[in-house]
Amino acid sequence: MQGSLVRMGPCGGSGGNIRETGMSDVNRIVQVILRHGNAMDTISVMYEWKGKEVWTDRWGGEGGKPSPFSLQQDEYLTSVHGHYGEFNGFVVVRSLTFASNLRSYGPYGKEDGVPFALHAGPGGKIIGFHARSGQFLDAIGTYVKMDN
């Protein structure tokens, strides 16, 4: 992987377990599956890694409505924004919206609580995520590849 890698966030609550994906040799995000209702229940991500498509584990619980989206070969994420706040006694991610160089996906969940935004910035591409999760998606952050 050429260019520097910047870890941003996470934004959200402090509960749940740390979720990380080794970013070595990750080329891009291929697909994202979210489960949501009044909060973000789960995120799963398919990466292009060493020429293969590989899924993360499910980060979060089993509830909510599934909402998948796929990125085109020449498409990449440029920002993730949303809200976090109290839900069922936990501070969790309540909503997420993803923006790419071609379009926007979302909002997913309920836009309620403290707003946050993670922007890749000029020359940056979001190529991965890190998070905290338990029953819900407690917090989310990004890995940004910066072109040198």
Say whether pLDDT at 110 is over 80.
Answer: yes
Q: Which residues pair with 42 in a beta bridge?
A: 35, 60
pLDDT in tens, 39-89: 999 999 999 998 899 999 999 999 999 999 999 999 999 999 999 999 999
Domain count of the fold of the chain: 1
Q: What is the CATH number of the domain that holds 127?
A: 2.100.10.30
* pLDDT > 90? residue 148: no
Q: What is the pLDDT of residues 114-145, one digit of tens each?
A: 999 999 999 999 999 999 999 999 999 999 99
**Residue 73 pLDDT:** 95
Task: Give the pLDDT score at 22.
Answer: 79
Which token pair is 118? 């993670």
Question: What pLDDT, on the 0 to 100 scale, is given for residue 2?
Answer: 60
Tens digits of residue pLDDT in 30-39: 999 999 999 9
Give residue 80's domain range.
4-146
Full-model pTM: 0.94
Is the pLDDT at 1 greater than 50, yes or no?
no
Q: Which residue's structure tokens are 């040799």?
A: 25
Q: Which residues contact 87 (CB under 8 A, 6 or more apart)?
A: 38, 39, 94, 136
